[in-house]
Amino acid sequence: MSQHKALALHVKAALAADDAALAKIRQYTLRDFTPDELQLREYVLAHNCIDRDNECFDEALLDNFATTLLGKGVYVTHPTSWRSDGGPAEGKVFDTRTEMMSLADARALLNEPNLQLPPDRTQVKVLYASAYYARTEDNASLLIKQDAGIAGDVSIGFTAPSPQPIYDNDNRQLTAVRWPAPGQALEMSLVWLGAQQGARAVKNARHQSNPEHTMELTKEQIDALKEKAANNEKAAISLAALKTALGDNATLLDDPASLARLVTDGKSYKASLVDDIVGMERQLKITGDDEPSVSASKEFLSAMPVDRLVAMQKGLEARLPTNHGIKGANPNPPPAGSQEAPADSPINNPAFSA
């Protein structure tokens, strides 16, 4: 028999633009605004748990963010991202706070049942950010999408010292690292999926005992949450493996266009190496000149890494007859009396071999 936990929440669709909120907002506006002219929204922006990038924030750094984020912009995409045009902001942060809570409470708040703390922490620290948007004709779609929970994931842009290693209770270093203080928040952005699990617009939820606001999760809902968490974990593992494989070039993940060009150039270079080697092998009678032999040789060579192909190329060049003026010269010379094609012609160039 399945058991259920009652999750008691006090739910509001959005923050109220009351006098206290309007007083905080007024320091950033050039005129007074009425509550109907603004939409206010509260976000869980960051926490000290291990995120999808295998990183976490130090609690002191989250406090730095709470101080330095005030007055900063809310963007649709990080302004420093290759996908962004740099602005302007769609909203502005007017209030922040941090709150300590248990891991169980954080999992419920963030709707992340697999949220994990580093082994040297027992409490979750959450950074909240409240932002305001001016209601205009051009942003009506964005505001409605936020109300619908469609455009609600958020991410923080920041500066901080280099991440530091984390150790478990047996003093073993983990693969996860921690961003330390001091640092500052530069902006927050609406994104498709933030690195911080659960970083999103929230319903200003608070635990309380009023049974009228009790929300009970069914087994189907719990299973759906588990499946979502598992898929997110697989994606995080794949991204971490890709970053490891790229090494110092991992920053290319933020510039897919440049990465795509490098991949295309790399494939072209490898194809050129294969063609060059096949041409020299045909000249040295290692590979036959018939189409099946050439195709089989290309298929075999294409599976090799580039460094191995470069070594093979150099080795074959050293074996070429010295009386040829160019490597990989035409292995099928023309009949006597016919005119020889120029040495730089595609006919004699192994890069153009069939």
pLDDT tens per residue across span 245-274:
777 777 777 777 777 888 888 899 989 989
Among candidate residues 196, 351, 198, the one with its CA nearest the CA of residue 280: 351
Q: Mean pLDDT throughout 33-51?
A: 88
pLDDT score, position 197? 55
Q: Helix or strand or coil: residue 328?
A: coil
- Tell whether the model's pLDDT for residue 102 goes beyond 90: yes
Domain ranges of the chain: 6-225, 257-352
Question: Following DSSP, what letter does each residue of 173-194 receive, concatenated?
Answer: EEEEEEEPSS-EEEEEEE-SS-
Q: Mean pLDDT throughout 29-38?
A: 89
pLDDT tens per residue across span 195-254:
555 544 443 333 233 333 334 455 565 666 666 666 666 666 666 777 777 777 777 777
Q: Please state which of the ranges 40-44, 77-81, 302-306 shows the lowest mean pLDDT.
A: 77-81
Residues of 145-176 as b/e, b for ≥16 C-beta within 10 angstroms?
ebeeeebbbbbbbbebeebeebeeeeeeeeeb
Q: Which residue has the higher pLDDT, 81 or 354?
A: 81
pTM of the model as a whole: 0.51
Residue 164 CA to residue 185 CA, distance in Å, equals: 19
Residue 36 CA to residue 33 CA, distance in Å, equals: 8
Rg (CA), the chain: 30
CA–CA distance from 303 to each of 7, 20, 266, 275, 280 (Å)? 55, 67, 14, 13, 18
pLDDT score, position 125? 94
Residue 46 CA to residue 158 CA, distance in Å, equals: 11
Q: Please state which of the ranges 19-23, 255-259, 331-335 shows the lowest mean pLDDT.
A: 331-335
- Tell whether the model's pLDDT for residue 300 goes beyond 70: yes
Tokens of 105: 């409470």
Q: Report the percentage of the chain scoring pLDDT > 90.
A: 20
pLDDT score, position 189? 82
Which residues, including other chains, have CB under 8 Å from residue 121's CB and lie 6 or more apart?
Answer: 48
Residue 226 CA to residue 215 CA, distance in Å, equals: 18
